[in-house]
Structure 1
Amino acid sequence: MVAHLLSLRWRVMLNGFSRSTWQLVAAIIGLLYGLGILGVVVAGLVSLSFAPEGWAWTAAVLGGSVTVLGWVLVPLLLRGLDQTLSMDKLRSFPIPADRLLVALLVCGVLGVPGLVTTIAGVATALSWLRDPVALIVAPFCAVVGVLTCIAASRAVESITASFGNKRRYRELMSVLIFVPLLLAFPLISIIGSGLSVIGGDLPEIARTLSFTPLGAAWSIPGDLAAGRGLEALAKAGIALATLALLLLLWRRGLAASLIAPPTTDSATTSKGLGPFRWFPATPTGAVAARAAVYWLRDPRYGGSLITVPLIPVLAIFISVTSGSDWLLYAIGPVVGALLMITLSAEISYDGTAFAAHLSTGLSGRADRAGRVLTLSLFSVPTVLLATVVPLVVLDRLDLVPVLLGLALGVMLTGFGVSSVASTRFLMPVPEAGQSPFKSPQGSTLTTALITYLVWIIAFACAAPTIALAIAALITGSALLGWLTLVVGVGLGTALLFVGIDRGGKSLDARGPELLSQLRRASGG
């Protein structure tokens, strides 16, 4: 059974590569990148064997502890990424829990993450080339450490399995994994600064971790090399007891999952009319209310805005580290440029529910106007705050007219362009219920092209406003600043109405074709 499950796992992965050439290319690039990193790690481990005493031990304990912690946290954040051997698929087969545990453990070791961890773990023996005892013991300790990683990951995953089936949990985890990616540069800088500050305390931190389940197995070779035999024996007991306990917890989780019925999110019931009370009883108002419901309840809509609150964070961090404030002045226009693109994907988010707009005879202008109305209710205040607040902090209120005119002008113009573009091109988006940050296969290039096309057209249409803003900032003229505000809002509003009109006509003409494309995209 172990061989069968392992072959199934690898066959599914290889079949995925055969369906998409680009996916295969990405996998090859990723493999070469991983091998390169692995080579650097191995070279570093070899060099540690010639470093001062204690360096190899500290590096092994800290690196091993981080590895175990990563194996626990990453599957929680990326739950559902690999469903090849999920319990939902295995539950229907009469497999005893003990046999399934052994099979999944072996598959975990021989999977891509398990193989990389095993190779890196066994390579820690190269840090002890000058000590034969540690050199012999290190591979066995590495195997215990790798098994601990896999068992800990599976045990925690099985314990939290009931949460993983809940939609809100998946949405929260998606946000938690996406935000650190956006803040990777500041986080790396902060971590690097922190390590430089506490560098002298790392051996003491490693000593503490060596008596915990995180670092016990990785500490044993170094303890033997340093002549701490009793400590090595005690830590071997900690490591083996941890592994046994994790396997027991995992086994109980498997046994419970095998007999538990599959769980799904329960349907939620609405009380009252909700957003439909907020808008007038007109076709435009109905579309606006429906869009408001989606913005409030569909995480894909909120996911498209996750970058907006992070823009000030990045701007402040870069300004503090570089000593330049120019990014703080640009927060408002940048937020406006990001918000204007969100309208391009709304028909795609509708999916086959877009049929409701066609079957009721709704005019295209009402559809376009309703969606813009809802988006404007929070976009305009957001741009106002993003523009004015930094200028208040910097005590540059004299720049409010020019930067506000630029931000609003670009955003309103973009709304008009997006109102037309979304009827011409369907943006690839995650299906309903999926993670808001999951990209459909092969969609990255298409999404980028549509996004850049909308931005280029919008910036071209807003060229008068942009030119006035640049002139006002260079000359410092208050008159040009106020003129930028007037032209930005006036021209942006005019282009918005033109976009609603042209987009409405395009939607009336291409509505059935768009619905057909949406059905094909959803497999309907």
Structure 2
Amino acid sequence: MPAPAPVPGPGPAAGTRPALRLVGLKARILVNTMTRSTWVLVGTVLGAAYFLFLLGTVVVGLVVLGGQPAELVRTVLVLAGSALVAAWWLVPVLSSRADATLDPARLALFPLSTGQVQWGQALGALVGVPGVLTVVALLAATASWRSSPAALAAALLCLPLALALLVAGSRCVTALAVGLGRRRRVTEALSLAALLGLVLLGPVFSGLMSGLEQVWDRLPQWAGVLAWTPVGAVWAVPADAAAGRWADAGLRAGLTALTVAALVLAWRAVQQRALTSVVTERTAAGRAGSGAGLLDRVPERAWAAVAARCLVYWVRDPRYSGALVVVPAIAAVVWFSSAQTGAGFLFYALGPMFAALLAYQISGDVSFDNTAVSLHLLTGVRGRDDRAGRVLALLVIAVPLSAFGLLLPFALQGRWELLPGLAGTTLLALLGGAGLSSVMSARYTYPVAAPGQSPFKTPQGFTVLNVLVQFVALGLIVVLVLPAAVPVLVQVFTGEPAWGWAALAVGAVLGPLLCWGGIVLGGRWYDRRAPELLQEVAQFR
């Protein structure tokens, strides 16, 4: 009787099979997301057309670059490659759009090793618009060295190393940011650092533009420095091969390989912790007799309870408080821009600007609530009370900030004759925007970071259509402000104060009407669509 055939052990193929399965799952989720509805498909097609145009421009530019001197090619590719590395590493964190499809916290219960999850995430990073665009751009970049066979061969050999640098750095930085984002103090420090960077962005950009000729002359020197850093070394290897500097090429390739290895090890350590530990959110136990906090201090009405709950969100939830951090940064940037360009009227628009941005913030209130919106459904809160409570909480926060933005330009620069008109514009922006947001949050939801998660983390499902809808909402708020803004502009050009008082009257009458109309209409839609809203937000993970 023949002996049974031996059962194959877990070889390399068995180890890579789960990773390829994860990549296939991500591709399927991507396709399902893009084709789940006609509007999502239309938004996807429009976004794809835009990105294809950008890609075509980049490819043509890189091909044309191949006919230029080697030193110019080296400078352009090192600078562009370093910028690409920075974009892959930082943009997902700063924009709160880090890919969470293959989040290790979701995969912790599956029989997957850390290496398999890493391979799945690494290969999955190339599935999607950024990954495909990057691969095509890197292939086009190799054509820039077509005049030198040695440089072309070096560029092709460095292509996988460059992709590894981009992907490993992106996943490592994102994993570290998500871990740090769970700590409140660290999150606040990061917010302050981002605020400082935003404030300094104007002066830095202005300084670069004023010395554009000197900056252009120093680009080769900057590229030479970046070529010996982890983010720029790999892009200079083909130039060294073209010039016959094989020692420098080997050193730069070795530096990049060591950087990738360090990033993978750090990424693995964070990944291991995420796969083997369960993160639990602890809440501090209230002291005896402390009661329910703010909820004990409001009238026993449904709208008051909703307002108190939303006020707690505005103070403690980083997804809301992030909007408050941006307010002083916007004031500093607008002041600096108006001082540099001489367009002082931009500084006077701070009040309406603050009001519009803060009013827009509650357009995603139901999405931010996530499954907590079931509390309103189970307790029978009417839609009108829900909308009114959220608007009241907004006004408690937004009125002082909008008043600060309104009065600051006059305190620094004068022209108090414009105050009535701008006060009416600010009032219309705040109340009209609150009414519009009350309708929008009852009619439309979009994926946001779930409660308790890091603000750097966003679930899958956020598409180009979501971005377009948000821009349309901001555009509608601007349109609502026009009845008061137009008389203010007329006053600026004619000097007639009557136009300013007319703008104040328009804001004082139209603002409350729009706000109340939005609360009533949004309340009706909320009552009609409450179960659907709960079903939609429950899918945002």
| TM tier relative to shorter chain | 0.7 to 0.9
Structure 1 stretch displaced more, 364-373 or 512-521 = 364-373
Give, as a single letter, the amino acid of the residue that structure 1 aligns with 2:354.
V
Counting aligned pairs with the same residue, the percent is: 33
Task: Give the match for residue 383 of structure 1.
Answer: 402
Asked whether the 8 Å contact 1:319–1:327 carries over to 2, the reply is yes
Task: Give the match for residue 513 of structure 1.
Answer: 528
Asked whether the 8 Å contact 1:118–1:143 carries over to 2, the reply is no
Query: Is 1:67–2:110 an aligned residue pair?
Result: no
Deviation at residue 146 of structure 1 after TM alignment: 1.9
Task: Give the match for residue 241 of structure 2.
Answer: 224
Change (3 A) 1:194 1:280: farther
For residues 123 and 440 of structure 2, what CA distance do their matches in structure 1 show? 50
Deviation at residue 293 of structure 1 after TM alignment: 1.7
Per-residue displacement from partner, 1:275-334 (whole Å, max 9, x unpaired)?
Answer: 346656777654543332232234454456676545535543553454232222333234
Task: Give the match for residue 124 of structure 1.
Answer: 141
Give, as a single letter, the amino acid of the residue that structure 1 aligns with 2:408.
V
Task: Give the match for residue 27 of structure 2.
Answer: 10
Asked whether the 8 Å contact 1:151–1:247 carries over to 2, the reply is yes
Which of 209, 213, 217 aligns to 2:226? It is: 209
Asked whether the 8 Å contact 1:121–1:143 carries over to 2, the reply is no
- SS across alignment from 2:282: coil
Asked whether the 8 Å contact 2:367–2:537 carries over to 1, the reply is no
Deviation at residue 491 of structure 1 after TM alignment: 4.1
Asked whether the 8 Å contact 2:82–2:231 carries over to 1, the reply is yes
For residues 68 and 421 of structure 2, what CA distance do their matches in structure 1 show? 59
Give, as a single letter, the amino acid of the residue that structure 2 aligns with 1:10.
A
Give, as a single letter, the amino acid of the residue that structure 1 aligns with 2:259.
T
Spell out the pairing of 1:361-510 with structure 2 (5 A cutoff): 371-408=390-427, 411-412=430-431, 417=435, 422=439, 425-428=442-445, 430=447, 432-433=450-451, 473=492, 476=495, 487=505, 491=509, 495=512
Task: Give the match for residue 159 of structure 2.
Answer: 142
For residues 392 and 342 of structure 2, what CA distance do their matches in structure 1 show? 39
Spell out the pairing of 1:162-173 with structure 2 (5 A cutoff): 162-163=179-180
Asked whether the 8 Å contact 1:46–1:127 carries over to 2, the reply is yes
- List runs of 5+ in structure 1 lacking aligned partners: none
Q: Which has the higher contact order (CA 8 A, sep 6+)?
A: 2
Task: Give the match for residue 84 of structure 1.
Answer: 101
Change (3 A) 1:418 1:122: closer
Deviation at residue 219 of structure 1 after TM alignment: 1.4
Spell out the pairing of 1:138-287 with structure 2 (5 A cutoff): 138-158=155-175, 162-163=179-180, 196-258=213-275, 260-270=276-286, 272=290, 273-276=292-295, 279=298, 286-287=305-306
Give, as a single letter, the amino acid of the residue that structure 2 aligns with 1:147.
A
Which of 319, 342, 348 aligns to 1:323? It is: 342
For residues 441 and 232 of structure 2, what CA distance do their matches in structure 1 show? 56
Change (3 A) 1:180 1:509: same
Which of 53, 66, 71 aligns to 1:49? It is: 66
Structure 1 stretch displaced more, 218-227 or 101-110 = 101-110
Asked whether the 8 Å contact 1:430–1:436 carries over to 2, the reply is no
Change (3 A) 1:278 1:437: farther
Change (3 A) 1:46 1:162: same
Asked whether the 8 Å contact 2:148–2:242 carries over to 1, the reply is yes
For residues 411 and 294 of structure 1, what CA distance do their matches in structure 2 show? 19
- List runs of 5+ in structure 2 lacking aligned partners: 1-16
Per-residue displacement from partner, 1:448-467 (whole Å, max 9, x unpaired)?
Answer: 677766776x659xx6x778
Deviation at residue 361 of structure 1 after TM alignment: 7.8
Structure 1 stretch displaced more, 155-164 or 43-52 = 155-164
For residues 245 and 141 of structure 1, what CA distance do their matches in structure 2 show? 18
Deviation at residue 390 of structure 1 after TM alignment: 0.5
Asked whether the 8 Å contact 2:89–2:173 carries over to 1, the reply is yes
Task: Give the match for residue 310 of structure 2.
Answer: 291
Give, as a single letter, the amino acid of the residue that structure 2 aligns with 1:266.
R
Give, as a single letter, the amino acid of the residue that structure 2 aligns with 1:134.
A
Change (3 A) 1:321 1:268: same
Which of 331, 351, 357 aligns to 1:332? It is: 351
Per-residue displacement from partner, 1:431-462 (whole Å, max 9, x unpaired)?
Answer: 65275996966656766677766776x659xx
Change (3 A) 1:241 1:515: closer
Change (3 A) 1:175 1:82: farther
Structure 1 stretch displaced more, 175-184 or 334-343 = 175-184
Deviation at residue 512 of structure 1 after TM alignment: 4.8
Change (3 A) 1:123 1:364: closer
Deviation at residue 130 of structure 1 after TM alignment: 2.7
- SS across alignment from 1:54: helix
Give, as a single letter, the amino acid of the residue that structure 1 aligns with 2:237.
I
Length-normalised TM-score, structure 1: 0.76
Change (3 A) 1:169 1:74: farther
Asked whether the 8 Å contact 1:78–1:174 carries over to 2, the reply is no
For residues 196 and 298 of structure 1, what CA distance do their matches in structure 2 show? 46
For residues 391 and 53 of structure 1, what CA distance do their matches in structure 2 show? 56
Deviation at residue 222 of structure 1 after TM alignment: 0.9
Root mean square deviation, CA, Å: 4.8
Asked whether the 8 Å contact 2:429–2:477 carries over to 1, the reply is no
Per-residue displacement from partner, 1:1-60 (whole Å, max 9, x unpaired)?
Answer: 154333333222222222133333333443343333333333333333332341111222
Length-normalised TM-score, structure 2: 0.74
Give, as a single letter, the amino acid of the residue that structure 1 aligns with 2:283.
A
For residues 257 and 249 of structure 2, what CA distance do their matches in structure 1 show? 12
Asked whether the 8 Å contact 1:299–1:436 carries over to 2, the reply is no
Per-residue displacement from partner, 1:179-235 (whole Å, max 9, x unpaired)?
Answer: 999999998777655665422222222222222222222212212322323322322
Task: Give the match for residue 4 of structure 2.
Answer: none
- SS across alignment from 1:207: helix
Change (3 A) 1:154 1:229: same
